[in-house]
Amino acid sequence: MKSKKVIKRKEDHLDLAKKAQLFADLADGRFDYEPLFSAHPSLQQCKTDLSVNFLGKQLMAPLWISSMTGGGKKSGQINGRLAEVASEFGLGMGLGSCRQLLEKNCAKKVWNDFDFRPIIGAKLPFFANLGIAQIEKMLKEGQTERIYELIDKLSADGLIIHINPLQEWLQPEGDRLEKSPLETLQIFLKGAPFPVIVKEVGQGFGPASLQALIQLPLAAIEFAAFGGTNFSLLESLRRRHQGPISTLNPLCLVGHSASEMVENTGKLVVKLKELALCRNFIVSGGISNYLDGYFFTSKLEQAVGHPVLYGQAAAFLEMATVSYKQLKVYVAKQVQGLMMARNFLKIKSSAGEVL
């Protein structure tokens, strides 16, 4: 006798077949699909096979939660959920800007929004975050000790510095830089007693900036490339309350995509040889799913010779805002999707043939 479930499934097939049509040119041309050589991955297999070492710590997957929030009404809850999911799936995490924590007499309530080492645990990377403008200011005022104290108090592994001159320029209350970010970084790195990661905030870095960064003694570079969340645009949108903005500021539309930055970084690491002091990378900015992550990290790994991570911000935020359960489902899909990609997809040698 046929079960009701089977009959329903067979009816679905007949009903949906017409809707399930795709055009041949929609196939993702970056990959060869090789269905013959692997079994389906179990969650346990994902946890061992995707495991990577990053800055001396073992991640269960090459996935990074990019810097976001802190100090807003919902920040504590969102950061708490992000730290919890990082702990459960063995991921690394960057905090959003910790600027408020540098203020004298910063309220305990604000600290609570950032103080998530006890949740993420000691074994995973957990980084504080400040803008280059704060670094410049602290250096000028001879106050860098306060940054060191901040890292210590958060039990962070180190500091992520975001370099964001366009965002600051377009932000209504934005800071103005008196020195070049490179000069500030060079001075700061001479004294910093912890690992430093540098990132943008959604517009990425051009080849000359990348070349200069790769030659600094940085722990890693996070791309924060153009093509996803764009903070210049976000700050321009905030100006709306001051009057209508009829045209988009053209500065919002400059930048470098993750694809372009993977290409440039690969070439630079090969060209610079031993002058490339920084060899760890987090590909981020507009990484919409695990297939992008798999593609870009695999390409860059060919050039640098060791694991590369990929990072996401807005995608995690969307889920973390809804509930922990939603976030957990999302991360499980990312991890399993990545493993499926590893098992069944090969990068075509002609796909972005640059390295």
Ligand X SMILES: Cc1cc2nc3c(=O)[nH]c(=O)nc-3n(C[C@H](O)[C@H](O)[C@H](O)COP(=O)(O)O)c2cc1C
Residue closer to ligand X, measured from CB, 195 or 285: 285
Tell me the per-residue interface mask from 80 to 119 with ligand X, x by CB under 6 A, - otherwise. Answer: ----------------xx----------------------
Q: With CB under 6 A as the contact rule, which of the stretches 43-51, 66-74, 296-304, 327-335 interacts with ligand X?
A: 66-74
Any contact of residue 30 with ligand X (CB under 6 A)?
no
Residues facing 94 on adjacent strands: 127
Considering only residues 214 through 273, tell me which ones interact with ligand X, judged by CB under 6 A: 224, 228-229
From CA 270, how far away is CA 276, in angstroms rounded? 8
Task: Report the relative pairing of strands 309-312 and 126-131 from DSSP bridges.
Answer: unpaired
DSSP string of 183-246?
A: HHHHHHHHH--S-EEEE-SSS---HHHHHHHHTS--SEEE---BTS--HHHHHHHHGGGGS---
Any contact of residue 68 with ligand X (CB under 6 A)?
yes
Of 129, 209, 280, 336, which lies in the binding site for ligand X, with binding defined by CB under 6 A?
129
Residue closer to ligand X, measured from CB, 79 or 264: 79
CB atoms within 10 A of CB 172: 10
Q: What is the CA radius of gyration of the chain?
A: 22
Residue with tokens 């040698």: 349
Any contact of residue 135 with ligand X (CB under 6 A)?
no
CA-closest candidate to residue 199, choices 98, 260, 138, 284:
284
Residues 6+ apart with CB under 8 A from 100: 70, 71, 106, 110
Q: How near is the Cβ of 285 to ligand X at its closest, in Å? A: 4
Considering only residues 278 through 297, tell me which ones interact with ligand X, judged by CB under 6 A: 284-287
Any contact of residue 66 with ligand X (CB under 6 A)?
yes
Residues facing 346 on adjacent strands: 32
Any contact of residue 125 with ligand X (CB under 6 A)?
no
Q: How near is the Cβ of 198 to ligand X at its closest, in Å? A: 10
Q: How near is the Cβ of 141 to ligand X at its closest, in Å? A: 21
CA-closest candidate to residue 303, choices 354, 349, 343:
354
Q: How near is the Cβ of 162 to ligand X at its closest, in Å? A: 3
Considering only residues 171 through 200, tell me which ones interact with ligand X, judged by CB under 6 A: 199
Q: How near is the Cβ of 244 to ligand X at its closest, in Å? A: 24
Amino acid at site 63: L
**Residue ranges binding ligand X (CB under 6 A):** 66-69, 96-97, 129, 162, 199, 201-202, 224, 228-229, 284-287, 312-315, 317
